[in-house]
């Protein structure tokens, strides 16, 4: 169960407590709500107290980073007391930069005077990362530093895995002896599970044991390259046998075309992890806490040995040696954190050819006491949105806001029905 974070009266972190205990303290007036997401209380009288060794564990990913707080309890061993999954917005940043680039390029191609290219005039500083990659590092560090302020973190564990893309494309090259041993095949298998969505490529079956299948069999000249490997359930693997995928799926040309396109998908996610891993590790070292590092293969091995399902927060809890024996509830729903940014910087809309469209936007961001990104509780008495909803609000000058709650968007919720519960901080939250 998700524990409640606790601060003493001097805002020093104490051990997270059970939700029932937090409700009792709030009811008796011994504590007050310090923060809604993640839910944190602050004690009114107590100063200091004993804390257990708590470790913050991370599973850095290209799209989602898993986080888990693991406490070393005397009687119960290592227990997950809090967990979350942080969703990055690197793809949105990349698309925004691409749109800006295309608009500027279109302006340069009009009938204007010649302007020489200046892309070689600017030098990139050492350690420079693309904005979409730098965002992944910055948001991860933001939450590491926040949790260090709200919980008694004594150490950090993170995956410092490196995807050897050349060895993944051709495992038979020299220098792959490091794959021989107890974790043989775990790195490639983990990559295939992510690439094929943990489903059978031939029947879309999930939640069952999957085998690695050669799309073009080795008996007919197929290779061991990762682009020639797919996941298949045992029945499909037996039916396909040593037949080529074109022969096996001759009756289903749409699925055949989809498999051929997906197997050639680039290693973009693996490249993003490779590019950010050392910089993130260096930023963590600057915090001054002892750091434990592990590989993705070892993490998956620990998780499979304990029989836990795949999830980013579970992978974080199973990192390296401290993840060999950790207690957690697989049905637990972690806090979902989505990076949303702090607002659009573009103050003028453009047409597809790069010309200004409409009036420049005003800098006003607060309407009726609300700001886009606030988490609110909306109690709608009547109409199509009748009921109580909790979610992220997008403000409008008219006062009819757009509310996103439980995966649905409700456009036209009056500000009078909304009560703020958490002010905008660049992230959206859900359980």
pLDDT tens column, 139-160: 999 999 999 999 999 999 998 7
pLDDT category, 177, cuts 50, 70, 90? very low
Candidates 83, 36, 87, 37; CA nearest to 64 is 87
Are 327 and 357 in the same domain? no
Q: Note whether 18 and 72 are same-domain residues.
A: yes
Same domain, 405 and 370: yes
Same domain, 85 and 211: no
Please give the torsion angle defined by the CA atoms of residues 418, 31, 78 and 285, in that order, rounded to the nearest 10 degrees.
80
| 26 plus 141 within the same structural domain | yes
Answer yes or no: is 407 within a domain: yes
Predicted confidence at residue 182, as pLDDT, reads 41
Q: Does residue 115 belong to any structural domain of this protein? A: no
Q: Is the residue at 178 inside a domain?
A: yes
Residues 194 and 317 placed together within one structural domain of the fold = no
CATH of the domain at 201: 1.10.30
- Considering the domain boundaries, does residue 100 fall inside one? no
Question: Does a structural domain hold residue 104?
Answer: no
Tokens linked to 352: 């597809």
The answer to whether residue 101 sits within a structural domain is no
Distance between CA atoms of 402 and 391, rounded to whole angstroms?
10
Same domain, 179 and 300: no
Q: 49 and 147: one domain? A: yes
Higher local confidence (pLDDT), 343 or 371: 371
On whether both 406 and 373 belong to a single domain, the answer is yes
Flag whether 61 is in a domain. Answer: yes
- Has residue 298 been placed in a domain? yes
7: closest CA among 49, 37, 36, 67?
49
For residues 183 and 77, the model is more confident at 77
Q: Are residues 255 and 143 in the same domain?
A: no
Residue 162, pLDDT > 60, answer no
Is there a single domain that holds both residue 361 and residue 334?
no
- Whether residue 320 is found in the same domain as residue 395: no
Instruction: Provide the domain limits for residue 409.
Output: 349-430
Comparing 56 with 113, the larger pLDDT belongs to: 56
How does residue 178 score in pLDDT terms, banded at 50, 70 and 90? Answer: very low
Total domain count for the chain?
3
Q: Which of 339, 371, 404 is the last residue of a domain?
A: 339
């Amino acid at each position: 169960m998700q524990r409640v974070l606790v601060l003493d009266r001097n805002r020093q972190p104490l051990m997270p407590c059970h939700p029932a205990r937090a409700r009792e303290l709030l009811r008796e007036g011994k504590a007050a709500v310090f923060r809604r997401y993640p839910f944190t209380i602050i004690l009114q009288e107590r100063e200091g107290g004993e804390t257990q060794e708590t470790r913050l564990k991370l599973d850095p990913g290209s799209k989602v980073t898993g986080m888990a707080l693991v406490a070393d309890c005397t009687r119960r061993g290592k227990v997950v007391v809090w967990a979350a999954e942080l969703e990055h917005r690197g793809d949105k940043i990349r698309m925004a930069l691409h749109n800006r680039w295309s608009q500027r390029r279109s302006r340069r191609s009009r009938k204007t005077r010649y302007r020489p290219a200046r892309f070689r005039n600017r030098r990139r500083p050492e350690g420079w990362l693309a904005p979409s990659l730098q965002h992944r590092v910055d948001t991860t560090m933001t939450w590491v530093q926040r949790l260090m302020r709200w919980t008694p973190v004594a150490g950090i564990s993170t995956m410092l895995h490196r995807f050897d893309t050349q060895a993944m494309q051709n495992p038979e090259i020299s220098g792959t002896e490091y794959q021989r041993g107890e974790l043989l095949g775990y790195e490639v298998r983990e990559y295939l599970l992510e690439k094929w969505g943990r489903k059978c490529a031939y029947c879309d079956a999930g939640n069952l044991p999957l085998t690695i299948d050669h799309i073009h069999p080795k008996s007919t000249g197929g290779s061991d390259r990762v682009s020639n490997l797919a996941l298949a359930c045992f029945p499909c693997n037996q039916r396909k046998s040593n037949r080529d995928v074109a022969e096996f799926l001759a009756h289903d040309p749409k699925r055949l075309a989809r498999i051929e396109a997906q197997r050639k998908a680039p290693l973009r996610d693996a490249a993003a992890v490779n590019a950010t891993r050392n910089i993130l590790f260096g930023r963590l070292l600057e915090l001054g806490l002892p750091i434990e590092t592990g590989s993705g293969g070892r993490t998956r091995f620990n998780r499979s040995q304990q029989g836990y399902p795949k999830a980013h927060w579970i992978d974080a809890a199973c990192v390296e040696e401290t993840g060999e024996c950790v207690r957690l509830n697989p049905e637990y729903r972690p806090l979902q954190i989505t990076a949303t940014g702090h607002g659009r910087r573009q103050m003028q809309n453009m047409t597809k050819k790069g010309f200004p469209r409409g009036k420049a936007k005003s800098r006003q961001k607060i309407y009726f006491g609300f700001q886009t990104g606030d988490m609110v509780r909306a109690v709608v008495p009547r109409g199509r949105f009748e009921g109580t909803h909790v979610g992220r609000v997008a403000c409008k000058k008219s006062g009819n806001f757009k509310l996103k709650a439980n995966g649905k968007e409700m456009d036209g919720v009056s500000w009078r029905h909304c009560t703020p519960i958490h002010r905008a901080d660049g992230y959206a939250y859900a359980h």
